[in-house]
Chain A
Amino acid sequence: MTTITSRAPAATRAAPKYGSMKNERLWALRWSYFFLTLFVIFFLTPPVYMLITSLKGSREISSLENPWWVFNPTLENYRELIFSPQFQTFFINSSLVAVIVVTTTMLISVPAAFALSRMKFWGSATLATGVFLTYLIPETLLFIPLFKMMAVFNDLTGIQVLNKWWVNLILYPTLTVPFCTWIMIGYFASIPKELDEAAIIDGATWMQTLTKIFIPVALPGLIAATIFAFTVSWAQFLYPLAFTTSTDQLVLPVGIITTLIKGDVFNWGQIMTGALLGAAPPLILYAFLMDYYIAGLTAGATKG
């Protein structure tokens, strides 16, 4: 009889402890959501503000009303910009450059990554590390000598390189190829070695092994690398700023900044619209392919 009575209080003592742990976790979750929301507000304020401003006419912008709200929304800025031939030129230049650079980059990176990760040859390890280190030589170091090199090339061959939009086609790959090669090496390296050997015994040449086996199996890596190359090409600012000056040769980022800021007069409505349209392609790509995007980032760094 004594055992039964002594058991009951122990049972009631246990219950509240269990309850409070669940409670604790719930509060931790609530605080997490709270702070996350604060951070999201911090991170999303500029783009949202871009959108808000882009929907305002110039009169509303210069007025001192609440800048965080659109009182008289208008698509005037969008209409002006989208139908402006100058803006269209920027967009086309950027698109052409991005697509061509992405293609060139993949054509260079993928075979190189395959050779470096699979076909062990003399110096392949040093070359792979060298590729990685190249990524650490910033464009801000190279843009001046490259500028002079392009000018010299200009004089020597008569082919105009400076101030032509296609100079970017030569320059951008230096930024995209090293990292894309690095990403692909990581993905190729994770393919089991026996797959190559099975392919060799099945009679495949190196090229066939690459195209029929490695590329399909490493497709997520390829997508991630392509996205990376596109995003970098689209957002490039320094090289086109230094190397192209005539309005019809500019790419989008440079175009918006140089043409819409005329002297001291800033047409903010148009500037924000232009900035938003300039940010749109990477954002859209991101919205659809977010997982590949993130995979590319983490693959590059954690496998490096």
Chain B
Amino acid sequence: MAEVSLRKVSKVYDGGVEAVRGIDLDIKDHEFVVLVGPSGCGKTTTLRMIAGLEDITAGEILIGPDVVNDVPPKDRDIAMVFQNYALYPHMTVHENMSFGLRLKKFPKAEINARVDEAARILDISELLDRKPKQLSGGQRQRVAMGRAIVRNPKVFLFDEPLSNLDAKLRVQMRIEIKKVHQKVRTTTVYVTHDQVEAMTLADRVVVMNHGVIEQVGTPQELYHSPRTRFVAGFIGSPAMNFIPCRLEGSGDGLVLKAGEGLALPLPPARVKQYASHASNGRLLLGLRPEHLTDARPHMEPGIVPFEAKVDVTEPMGMETFVYFALNGTQVCGRVNPAVGAKDGAPLRMAADLNNMHLIDEATGRVL
């Protein structure tokens, strides 16, 4: 087990493409950290640099106390689980899992003990004599994890391991991975583009975009206190709504105006927070769908009702998503199915401004 640190790590490919631009990250021992972001954000490149599969253009990577920039992968004491499992097709499951140990000339008894233990944790003990082509996708992924566990490394690296599985299997395997981490408390760096995986698996989430880290925090922190527009829009499904708006003074308070005569008075706490930005002409109101609900007779202060005309409804059973337009943008809200929202019909909605975010459109920062 060990900590992993990245100090001003950069990766520039031949031809000048900057995949990773000087990122800093400290991962604590036993921590499960997820690197998440859209394609091309640099998360996989970062993972591969930690593994030693890519050279580091600048900066340092430390595993434990040691700088490992020039240490070959096999000496870094890491194990990796690949997206396509990368199981050796001509070897049995047992041989696949023991390959690394056999190369290091471990005694046979120890090899068998470790393989059996890992197989037990992953529930694949009956599959030890089978070849990969006889296994299902989920089983293969477990063998790939077994191969990593057996090595007893300092760090586990996962490269989008669930992307090749169908949706249902993905949910199952997520739980398996979390259970394994509870049993085998190895430091883990996990890469995915799926923010649901990030939120459910991570101790801390690292959101990356265009080669830089946008924000690091626990899933709750990122959900409730995003610091940039990108993070706000990336985390959470359905995504947060962004509505262009203006602030106007009204007596002691502030009113948020979002076109078409929509004027929402801000709660006092927010008035204090945003007073200095009232003159900014390019503001976005960030509001998650669960904070755009149907209006009820008794609502708390800060929850402001308004009229909307529903374009499309998506009944999900437990709730209904309604899509309507606000100041020229399509917006998503979550309403009680009992309200009976219909396509094209007007609906009385409420915006919970206690949970609003105000974003400066020019800088993308959450104010």
Contact = CB atoms under 8 A, between A and B. Distances in A.
Interface of A: 192, 194-195, 197-204, 208, 212-213, 216-217, 219
Nearest to A194: B86
Contacts of B151: 202
B49 interface: no
B88 A201 contact: no
B99 A201 contact: no
Give the top 3 A-B pairs by smallest Cβ distance, nearest first. Answer: A202-B100, A203-B74, A194-B86
B84 A194 contact: yes
B183 interface: no
Contacts of B72: 200
Given A192-B84, A194-B84, A208-B103, A201 B79 contact: yes
Chain B interface size, under 10 / 10 to 19 / 20 to 34 / 35 or more:
20 to 34
Nearest to A218: B90
Interface string B79-92: 11011101111100
B63 interface: no
20 contacts: A192-B86, A194-B82, A194-B86, A195-B86, A197-B53, A198-B80, A198-B87, A198-B147, A200-B73, A201-B52, A201-B74, A201-B79, A202-B74, A202-B147, A202-B151, A203-B103, A204-B99, A204-B103, A208-B103, A213-B88
* Most chain B CB atoms below 10 A, which of A192, A194, A216: A194
B51 interface: yes
Interface in B198-238: none
Nearest to B157: A201
B90 A201 contact: no
B19 interface: no
Given A202-B74, A213-B88, A217-B89, A197 B103 contact: no
B74 A197 contact: no
A200 B104 CA distance: 12
B145 interface: no
Nearest to A204: B103
Interface in B225-270: none
Contact of A203 (B82, B83, B89, B100): B100
Contact of B74 (A195, A204, A213, A219): A204
Contacts of B74: 200-204
Interface of B: 51-53, 72-74, 78-80, 82-84, 86-90, 99-100, 103-104, 147, 151
B86 A203 contact: no
Describe B's contact surface by its main secondary structure: loop
Contacts of B78: 201
A200 B75 CA distance: 10
Given A201-B73, A201-B79, A202-B100, 20 more contacts: A192-B84, A192-B86, A194-B82, A194-B84, A195-B86, A195-B88, A197-B51, A197-B80, A197-B86, A198-B80, A198-B87, A198-B88, A200-B52, A201-B80, A202-B74, A202-B99, A202-B103, A203-B74, A217-B90, A219-B90
Contacts of B103: 202-204, 208
A223 B99 CA distance: 25
A219 B88 CA distance: 14
B88 A217 contact: yes
Contacts of A201: 51-53, 73-74, 78-80, 100
Nearest to B72: A200
Contact of A198 (B86, B90, B104): B86
A237 B29 CA distance: 70
* Most chain B CB atoms below 10 A, which of A194, A200, A203: A203
B276 to A, nearest CB: 52
B188 to A, nearest CB: 15
Contacts of B73: 200-201
Contacts of B87: 198
B61 to A, nearest CB: 15
A173 to B, nearest CB: 29
A197 B48 CA distance: 10
Nearest to B99: A202
B303 to A, nearest CB: 51
A197 to B, nearest CB: 6
Nearest to B159: A194
A192 B79 CA distance: 19
A192 B147 CA distance: 18
Nearest to A215: B90
B278 to A, nearest CB: 54
Contacts of B51: 197, 201
A229 B87 CA distance: 31
B82 A197 contact: yes
B77 to A, nearest CB: 10
A199 B82 CA distance: 12
A200 B99 contact: no
A212 B90 CA distance: 10
Contacts of A199: 88, 99
Contacts of B99: 199, 202, 204, 212
Contacts of A194: 82-84, 86
Contacts of B83: 194
Contacts of A203: 74, 100, 103-104
A216 B90 contact: yes
Nearest to A216: B90
* Most chain B CB atoms below 10 A, which of A198, A200, A208, A213: A198
B20 to A, nearest CB: 18
A197 B104 CA distance: 17
A199 B151 CA distance: 13
B353 to A, nearest CB: 49
Contacts of A212: 99
